[in-house]
Amino acid sequence: MRDEIDTGDTVLHKPSGETWVVAAVEGEHLYWCGWPPGRAHLADCELLEKAKEGEALRLLHQLAEMHCSDGDGWDARKSIAIARLAAIKNGAPAPWYESQPAERPAGEARRA
């Protein structure tokens, strides 16, 4: 639905008072853009502005191509973006990923 929080939207995180751009929504969690990476409970966030047409897709591409500098090269936001872009390419409905856990994709082992 158009009033649900999704990639590219701007939200208010009520507990901190911070305004965030949404990287991804997965189940009951929202991942924000920026550093440090992290997630918050979706229920703690209030939609301020929906992403304009095309913004969400551009952001998904940026997230999928980002360099991860957390020491092991893995970031949930990047993995979610890659999976979502693949699903969109294959015709899956946009909210398909909300019931999928953010797991490290096969072949992306943690580096020691």
For the stretch 6-61, pLDDT in tens is 999 999 999 999 999 999 999 999 999 998 889 999 999 999 999 987 899 999 99
Residue 91's pLDDT is: 80
Q: Is 18:49 a contact under the CB 8 Å cutoff?
A: no
What residues contact 93, with CB distance under 8 A and at least 6 apart?
A: none
Question: What residues does each domain of the chain span?
Answer: 10-99
Which run of H or of E encompasses 79?
helix 76-89
pLDDT: which is higher, 93 or 1:
93
**Long-range contact set of residues 51-57: C-beta below 8 Å, sequence gap at least 24:** 51/6, 51/7, 51/8, 51/9, 51/10, 52/8, 55/8, 56/6, 56/7, 56/8, 56/9, 57/88
CA distance linking residue 46 with residue 49, whole number of Å:
9
Copy the structure tokens of residue 38.
């992290």
pTM: 0.75
Most confident of 32-36, 47-51, 81-85, 99-103: 47-51
